[in-house]
Amino acid sequence: MCAGDVAAPARVASTSIAVEVPSAGGTPLANGPPMTKRLLGAAGLLLCAAPLRAQTIDDGILLSKKTLCAGVVYGHNSWTEYWEGTLKRENGNVGTVTTSTVAGMATYGLTGRLNLLATLPFVSTHASGGTLQGQDGLQDLTLAAKFQAFSVAGDRLRGYVVGTYAVPVSDYVPDLFPLSLGMASQRLSGRGTLSLRAGKGWFAGATAAYTWRDNVTLDRPAYFTDGQLFLTDQVQMPNTFQYAVNVGYGRGRLSVPVTYTQQNTLGGGDIRRQDAPFISNRMNFKVLDALVMYHLPKLDGLALRAQAAYVIDGRNVGQSTTVLAGLMYTVHF
């Protein structure tokens, strides 16, 4: 949410982290061999279902021409319980898994109807239990183009289409869950968003996206998942469908949207009971998200944001809590 030509925000709870990072936990076989313990932890990041995303990819905001909004957002995500398929449980091998993210993001108004966006997060992971070592480094670069397709009812109702591409920018290992930095899959998304200003400061919105995910290359020649043995290092990732609806109030310098988000993974198997999770597991989740955005009165162009998200239900994901805080600055050229 940046200052500019602002319509009703339709903010989706926050991309794993962008990061598209739903998470899981492993099996309580703490005394297994090193490779087994690596695989047992693999569910963690897959199950952390509160991804950090560029804030204007999925909202109802459009910057005016020759306007730049840039900023930094810090996110803290943690979970102890997770769903192994539909069974809710804990994992003593990892305890509480925390993921910290510092994301730089920028949006530029190329024209009055077309915005270009970019986001790049630095991610750090940590587990309170077990012997798995935390990881840190740059994750995935996300680039997007957002276009206002129509505006009707006196500009109260707007429609947007968004194309998004994400690619890993560092050589992190995706097979180290729950402490991997991400999923190491290139992704291409198509999104549609509706934004309605209802009057007297009230607004509502809805957004939906389909994401195509490229294969992931593992550092091993074979793997077992969903009841099958695959003699290859290539993992075919299932695509995902996500939608969100929101309501909120925004007037003057303040905007407060509340959002419900649901993601469905279109394929993949469940984590087997007492078995290692896998990167292509089905990862479904439902998230509630609240955001407060305030533009400072004496510092023109500077805005503060605070956000919290909670996973209320899921499948092969962690019941995570995410808090976010950041600064955004808008300048007109």
CB atoms within 10 A of CB 4: 20
Q: Is the peptide bond before 168 cis (omega within 30 degrees of 0)?
A: no
CA angle 282, 284, 286 (to 5 degrees): 170
Confidence at residue 50, expressed as pLDDT on a 0 to 100 scale:
37
- pLDDT bracket for residue 94 (50, 70, 90): confident
Q: What Rg, from alpha-carbon coordinates, does the chain have? A: 20
- Phi (first) and psi of residue 234, to 5 degrees: -95, 125
Is residue 199 pLDDT above 80, yes or no?
Answer: yes
Confidence at residue 238, expressed as pLDDT on a 0 to 100 scale:
97
Q: Tell me, what CATH number does 78's domain have? A: 2.40.160.40
Q: What is this structure's pTM?
A: 0.84
Structural domain including 39 reads 5-332
pLDDT digit string, tens, across residues 19-30: 333 333 333 323
Confidence at residue 60, expressed as pLDDT on a 0 to 100 scale:
85
> Do 328 and 302 contact (CB within 8 A), yes or no?
yes
For residue 303, the one-letter residue type is: A
Task: For residue 75, give Cα distances in angstroms to 123, 138, 164, 309, 326.
Answer: 9, 14, 21, 11, 9
Q: Which residues does 154 contact at the CB level (< 8 Å), separation at least 6?
A: none
Could you give the CA distance from residue 12 to residue 51 in angstroms, rounded to a whole number? 10
Place of tokens 């500009």: 155
CB atoms within 10 A of CB 153: 9
If one counts the domains in the chain, the total is 1
Could you give the CA distance from residue 39 to residue 49 in angstroms, rounded to a whole number? 19
Percent of the chain with pLDDT over 90: 69
Could you give the CA distance from residue 96 to residue 126 in angstroms, rounded to a whole number? 8
Number of alpha carbons in the 13 Å side-chain half-sphere of residue 124: 6
